[in-house]
Amino acid sequence: MKRTLLITAIASSVLASTSAMAAWPDKPIKIIVPWGAGGNTDTVARLVAEGLQEELGVNVNVINRTGGAGVVGHDAMAKAKPDGYTLGVATVEIAMMHHQGMTSLDYTNYTPITRLAVNLGGIQVAENSKFKNIKQLTDYIKAHPGELKASGSGLNSGWHLNLIGMLDAMGLPSNAVTFVPSEGSSSALMELVSGGIDFTTSSPGEARSMVQAGMVRNLATMAEKADGLYKDVPVFQKATPYKYSFSTWNSLVAPAGVPEDVEKKLISTMKKVFSEGKIQQYATKQGFEIYPLYGKDMVNFMKSEDEKYGKLISKLKK
């Protein structure tokens, strides 16, 4: 009798658990953003929240958890209960921070759902520059190491690492071009136009308005292939002998250990959200790309990016 009651109790518990999980979601979901309100990451997160809310039928709220150069928000995502009710937008910094000694977090602390925004690295020169194509620039750097100056953002930031990676692909040390720190791409591009530096390593999207104004020229993108918004701009690894691609990115994630059926439902739902086109429309307006990756493909991408950034950051330490 006792054995029968025990089996019945276990069966009831399993059924209740399965039923609860099958009902996901039945309460509001929150999306943690590790950066402040108003930026591209925050706006993309809000478009994702809007799409998920429409598809899942529950409220989806964006929570900005800033601080620690991204560490605070990424930590909150990773430590949340893995039940599908707390998601996050992990940014490329997750491939950088642990190599910089800022945190122990890395891509393995998350269940990636999909890649969201992709911001290609690029190379820009002033309109009156003597360098008319990317090969002329790389040939000059090799022949005159240490002579040219570049900028794009602050020290150890993504666009600084874009330069380090380019030089490494060329077989050159990180000091073959002097990097001049700036407060961001806008400041760097203004310095470029004024003649204070020789080129920038910013994204073509950030340079777009100055390109359209006839003040700046894109010499190359660090894309893997000619595609998307900048398919008419030469691809660095096609226009030079050097194999190298670079981008910054962000992705929708859940904490590690989220149930597989919740993960699958989030992936299928995000495919529907992308099909609506609102995120792509915003991306086009802002000048960055949307190249979704899901599941294992996204895990492999984050792993390879972690390795790439680790290698580049190690060169900065030398």
Q: What is the pLDDT of residues 91-131, one digit of tens each?
A: 999 999 999 999 999 999 999 999 999 999 999 999 999 99
DSSP-assigned states of every residue in 148-167: -EEESSSTTSHHHHHHHHHH
Query: Which residue numbers in the chain have pLDDT < 70?
Result: 1-22, 317-318
Q: What is the pLDDT of residues 124-147, one digit of tens each?
A: 999 999 999 999 999 999 999 999
What are the two backbone dihedrals, phi and then psi, of residue 151, each rounded to the nearest 5 degrees? Answer: -150, -175
What are the two backbone dihedrals, phi and then psi, of residue 271, each rounded to the nearest 5 degrees? Answer: -65, -40
Q: How would you classify the pairing of strands 199-200 and 149-151?
A: parallel
Rounded to whole angstroms, how far apart are CA atoms 197 and 200?
8
pLDDT score at 218: 97
pLDDT score at 154: 87
Angle between helices 204-212 and 185-194 (to 10 degrees): 40
The pair of structure tokens assigned to 64 is: 């900005």
**Angstrom distances, CA of residue 96 to CA of 100, 248, 303, 312, 314:** 6, 11, 12, 9, 11
Single-letter residue type at 261: D
pLDDT score at 38: 87
3-class SS of residue 214 = coil
Is the Cα dihedral 124, 126, 130, 132 positive or negative?
Answer: positive
pTM: 0.86
Rounded to whole angstroms, how far apart are CA atoms 167 and 162?
9
DSSP 239: H
The pair of structure tokens assigned to 126 is: 């002033």
Q: How would you classify the pairing of strands 289-290 and 86-91?
A: unpaired
* 270: nearest Cα among 287, 252, 289: 252
3-class SS of residue 253 = strand
* 179: nearest Cα among 149, 202, 222, 146: 149
Burial class of residue 148 (count of CB atoms within 10 Å of its CB; 0-12, 13-18, 19+): middle
pLDDT score at 14: 47
What are the two backbone dihedrals, phi and then psi, of residue 83, each rounded to the nearest 5 degrees? Answer: -115, 5
pLDDT score at 316: 80
Task: Count CA atoms closer than 13 A to 157's CA, side-chain side.
Answer: 18
Q: How would you classify the pairing of strands 86-91 and 247-255?
A: antiparallel
Token pair 């190298």: residue: 244
The pair of structure tokens assigned to 110 is: 């998350």
Task: Give me the sheet containing 289-290, strands edge to edge.
Answer: 60-64, 29-33, 86-91, 247-255, 110-120, 289-290
Token pair 């100055």: residue: 210
**Angstrom distances, CA of residue 45 to CA of 51, 270, 283, 299:** 10, 12, 12, 20
Structural contact between residues 143 and 306, judged by C-beta atoms closer than 8 angstroms: no
Structural contact between residues 182 and 188, judged by C-beta atoms closer than 8 angstroms: yes
